[in-house]
Amino acid sequence: MALLFRRQSSTATTTRIAIANHPDLDASFIQLAQGRQPKQRASSKSKLGWLKRLIGLPAYYWVLITQLFVILPHVSHLPIWLIIFGILSIAAQLPRIKARFKTVKQLKRIYQGIQMAGFLTGIAGLWLTYQSAFGLDMGVAFLLLCLISKLWELYQRRDAYVVLNLSLFVLASLFLMDQGLFTSLTVAFGAVMVLLAFIALNDVGNDSGEGRVRTLGLLGVSALPLLVVLFLFFPRLPPLWSVQLSGQQAVTGVSDSMSAGDFANLSQSTELAFRVSFPAEQPAQSEMYWRGLVFSNFDGVTWSPSASVQRSWWGGAVPDWLAQAIDSVPDAQKQQPLAYQVILEPTQQNWLFGLDYPYSQLRGIGITPQFTLRRSRPVTQQLRYDVTRFAQMRLDSTLGEQERQINLALPSEGNQKSRALAKQLFKEADNDPERYINAIQAWVNQTQFRYTLSPPPLTDERIDSFLFETKAGFCEHYASSFTFMMRAAGIPARVVAGYQGGEMSRGGDVWEVRQMDAHAWSEVWLDGRGWVRVDPTAFVAPSRVERGMQSLTQEQGAAMFGSGTRAQLSYQQFRMLQTLRRLSDQASYYWQKDVVGYDQDKQSNALLKWLNITSIMQQIIWMMALAVTLLATVGLLIWLRRRRRWHPVDIPLVQLSRRIGRSDATLAYDDNEGLLIWLERLQSQTQDADIKKDLERIKDDYRRLRYGRLSEAPPDDPDYQSTLKALKTLASKIK
């Protein structure tokens, strides 16, 4: 049958129902940016919780909130004045502050002046801070300064888009400073906030913020599979260049000098210093002396390195003094060198740590004549380096006159009691250095010295005050006093600083050395043996050396931190922080090992080998194929979720609408009208009596199936099925 419709000229029956015009998308944002509050719509905001009210804030406020999470994470490595300037700039953009200006023209003129003055002053401040126009931290600080300056011209939505896009770059610059787990979580959270601000910018008129979190989740879930594919398959190419941080900020750790209290303070910190992994056998904990610095100068208060012996060897052929030290050990006493890897946390210093006695062939790492490791540049980021341990080495079998004088030097005055005791004990030992060492140990044991992290204060005569008055101290007290006593008897001696011991990680495969393991010991030069390690702390607290600082703290409890309520609080705080640190460091270790450490070698030896990928082209093809597959899958899922699901009774009418719409789109069903209304519209526009009669029967059957008695009948009801079949037949006849 032919279907003849007469076209209606009236737009009232042929166009879709008009949608109310939206307000200008820029209106609300511009009003807030100029300090004027937009008209509030009637809503149930007062009934919403604080979280929903926060999510439903206008886009202008979301842009400002986001900047806090972009700027504040840089406080640990950028100048504090720049961070303060950023916070003040954010506060200055609040509508209440902008509203204080009488006119918009006056607001823009003053803010433009502040913007230019702030930018130029910031450039000068960065130059004074870094003393250079180049450098990684200088570049990051300049990028942040540009973002802060842009905030002073936040008037239009396009300004907000520029600010948010620049914010993503400022957030990503955090990875140039550190790739740790905490930094990654900070950047991820900041990126989520920026994304919420983008969503708010495109969600004008939604005062309740309904659906913003759902949109964020949809975007995040869609992006995660692609992120995994790119992480696994993107080629790990070596960097074409590298840049170095200026290292303006120091961190907690062993410093280049030692005085009373330094190591005691470190030993109350559970912060991680470095990790060590041994591929095979490992030494006993009592032999884990992590050598870092050698102190030969003493001014009566502070020990420091001697400038005349700080030369280093930087790769190439093995120096003569190192080869002689290795060959000096008799064959019967030689041990197989032990190889291991150290993962050092940033220290902003040049010195590295290794077991007595360390040697590394890595480029940029050298060894000094005191058998300490040095790096050509400060350690500004987490550093991995391989070390070889040579045990049973003889250091300086013959001691030069200059070094002898350096390691015998004492202040000309002071500590007379200690000098007299040294001469007395040395004479009683028949001037034998080894017997003299034993005599000092016996005297310390008989005098009842005490090991504590909270020693009493010392007077100006520090050695005398410790040996004859307080008799309580930490490793630096014992190492300093013992070395002084050796020198007072004419025996060359020096102090070595580093770490001792450590504890096994929760995974049981890595040793974790913390700041609490900071330690100082002595080295004494004996004729025919060279430098020999003597740890005077073991005279008083042998468990500190045998089982580590952790075991000693558990044994002595709060007594390690002094006496009274304050000691109890310090001990409980120490235990709580220690537990949290261990869990955090374990998570950080696996992050560094499996995520940050997922380099070219791991990619080639694991994933690419498993998939039999032999070239970069194959790798890129795999990556692109998986990425396209994932994107297509996500798109399909979104389409399936959002497509309209029709009732079985509606499907025949929808199909009829599509057939009619091919010849005349104005006669097709509109989403804004009901199907019964649409059928009536078709009846009113057709001139064929048979078609009008069929449409009327379709309307009757549709009412019975959707709103009448049959609407409650089960789908397999015979009457329901026969009526539905009749409706389908009539609908299919109309063409």
Summarised one tens digit per residue, pLDDT across range 527-536 is 888 889 999 9
Tokens of 109: 């003129």
Q: Does residue 402 carry a pLDDT above 90?
A: no
Assess contact for 708 and 702: CB atoms under 8 A: no
Q: Does residue 575 carry a pLDDT above 80?
A: no
Are β-strands 450-451 and 472-473 bridged in parallel, bridged antiparallel, or unpaired? parallel
CB-based contacts of 400, cutoff 8 Å, min separation 6:
none
Higher-scoring residue by pLDDT: 331, 23: 331
CB-based contacts of 20, cutoff 8 Å, min separation 6:
none
Angle at 729 between CA 724 and CA 732, to 5 degrees: 125
* CA atoms 223, 226, 232, 238: torsion sign: negative
E strands, 147-306, in order: 272-277, 289-295, 297-298, 303-304
Q: In what order do the strands lie in the sheet with 383-389?
A: 358-359, 383-389, 338-344, 272-277, 511-514, 503-504
Angstrom distances, CA of residue 43 to CA of 38, 53, 205: 14, 11, 11
Q: Using omega within 30 degrees of 0 as the cis cutoff, is the peptide bond preceding 589 cis?
A: no
Indicate which residue of 74, 519, 585, 701 is catalytic: 519
- Give residue-wise pLDDT tens across range 28-78: 788 888 887 766 554 444 455 777 778 888 889 999 999 999 999 999 888
Angstrom distances, CA of residue 171 to CA of 19, 30, 710: 41, 26, 61
Q: Does residue 4 carry a pLDDT above 50?
A: no
Q: What is the pLDDT of residue 586?
A: 65
Nearest to 186 by CA among 77, 297, 294: 77
Q: What is the pLDDT of residue 247?
A: 41
The segment with the largest mean pLDDT, out of 454-458, 582-586, 645-649, 700-704, is 700-704
- Residue 304 sits at φ, ψ, to 5 deg, of -150, 160
Residue-averaged pLDDT of the chain: 79
- Give the number of other CB atoms < 10 A from CB of residue 131: 11
Start-to-end C-alpha separation, the chain: 7
Tokens of 305: 């390195």
Q: pLDDT class for 353, splitting at 50, 70, 90?
A: very high
Give dist(CA 142, CA 138) in Å, integer. Answer: 6
- Give residue-wise pLDDT tens across range 237-246: 554 444 444 4
Q: What is the DSSP letter of 569?
A: H
Higher-scoring residue by pLDDT: 54, 570: 54
* CA atoms 465, 470, 471, 474: torsion sign: negative
Can you name the residues that pair with 355 across neighbouring β-strands? 290
Q: What is the DSSP letter of 136?
A: H
Q: Does residue 559 carry a pLDDT above 60?
A: no
Q: What is the pLDDT of residue 684?
A: 85
Element (H, E) at 552: helix 548-556
DSSP SS3 for 193? helix
Helix axes 475-488, 416-428, angle to 10 degrees: 70
Residue with tokens 């080894």: 434
Give dist(CA 486, CA 633) in Å, integer. Answer: 76
- Give the number of other CB atoms < 10 A from CB of residue 224: 12
Angstrom distances, CA of residue 384 to CA of 90, 179, 362: 40, 13, 10
Give dist(CA 323, CA 464) in Å, integer. Answer: 41
Q: Does residue 724 carry a pLDDT above 90?
A: no
- Give the number of other CB atoms < 10 A from CB of residue 649: 20
Give dist(CA 531, CA 529) in Å, integer. Answer: 7
Q: What is the DSSP letter of 312?
A: -
Give the amino acid at 558: A
Nearest to 191 by CA among 214, 218, 162, 171: 171
Assess contact for 526 and 434: CB atoms under 8 A: yes
Q: What is the pLDDT of residue 245?
A: 45
Q: What is the pLDDT of residue 584?
A: 67
Q: What is the pLDDT of residue 311?
A: 61
Tokens of 54: 């926060």
Q: What is the pLDDT of residue 474?
A: 83
Least confident of 102-106, 379-383, 559-563: 559-563
- Mean pLDDT, range 562-567, rounded to an integer: 59
Q: What is the pLDDT of residue 189?
A: 93
26 is catalytic: no
Are β-strands 511-514 and 383-389 bridged in parallel, bridged antiparallel, or unpaired? unpaired
Q: pLDDT class for 119, splitting at 50, 70, 90?
A: very high
475 is catalytic: yes
Q: pLDDT class for 427, splitting at 50, 70, 90?
A: very high
Q: Does residue 12 carry a pLDDT above 50?
A: no
- Give residue-wise pLDDT tens across range 206-235: 766 777 888 888 788 777 887 777 777 777
Assess contact for 703 and 674: CB atoms under 8 A: no
- Give the number of other CB atoms < 10 A from CB of residue 725: 12
- Give residue-wise pLDDT tens across range 156-201: 889 999 999 999 999 999 888 777 778 888 999 999 999 999 998 8
Q: Report the share of the chain in percent with pLDDT over 90.
A: 25
Q: What is the pLDDT of residue 712?
A: 82
Helix axes 136-151, 104-130, angle to 10 degrees: 170
CB-based contacts of 363, cutoff 8 Å, min separation 6:
315
Q: What is the pLDDT of residue 313?
A: 66
Give dist(CA 140, CA 77) in Å, integer. Answer: 10
Query: In Å, how far from its chain's centre is CA 216?
Result: 22
Give dist(CA 524, CA 396) in Å, integer. Answer: 11
Assess contact for 199 and 99: CB atoms under 8 A: no
CB-based contacts of 677, cutoff 8 Å, min separation 6:
none
* CA atoms 115, 117, 120, 123: torsion sign: negative
Q: Does residue 148 carry a pLDDT above 90?
A: yes
- The structure's pTM equals 0.54
Q: What is the pLDDT of residue 222?
A: 76
Q: What is the pLDDT of residue 628?
A: 84
Indicate which residue of 396, 464, 535, 694 is catalytic: 535
Give dist(CA 375, CA 365) in Å, integer. Answer: 4
Assess contact for 376 and 366: CB atoms under 8 A: yes
Q: pLDDT class for 442, splitting at 50, 70, 90?
A: very high
- Give residue-wise pLDDT tens across range 643-687: 667 788 888 888 888 888 888 888 888 777 788 888 888 888 888
Q: Does residue 236 carry a pLDDT above 50?
A: yes
Give dist(CA 236, CA 453) in Å, integer. Answer: 47
- Give residue-wise pLDDT tens across range 246-267: 444 434 467 788 876 555 555 5
Are β-strands 503-504 and 358-359 bridged in parallel, bridged antiparallel, or unpaired? unpaired
519 is catalytic: yes
Q: What is the DSSP letter of 351?
A: B
Q: What is the dihedral of CA 71, 72, 73, 79, to 10 degrees?
A: 80
Compute and round to an integer the Cα radius of gyration of the chain. 39
Give the amino acid at 458: L
Give dist(CA 181, CA 585) in Å, integer. Answer: 9
Q: What is the pLDDT of residue 168?
A: 94
Report the 3 state secondary structure along 230-256. Answer: HHHHCCCCCCCCCCCCCCCCCCCCCCC
Query: In Å, how far from its chain's centre is CA 387?
Result: 27
Q: What is the pLDDT of residue 601?
A: 60
Q: Does residue 82 carry a pLDDT above 70?
A: yes
Q: What is the pLDDT of residue 326?
A: 65
Give dist(CA 312, CA 310) in Å, integer. Answer: 6
Give dist(CA 608, CA 619) in Å, integer. Answer: 8
Higher-scoring residue by pLDDT: 317, 107: 107
- Mean pLDDT, range 586-612, rounded to an integer: 66
Give dist(CA 157, CA 28) in Å, integer. Answer: 10
Indicate which residue of 475, 477, 585, 694 is catalytic: 475
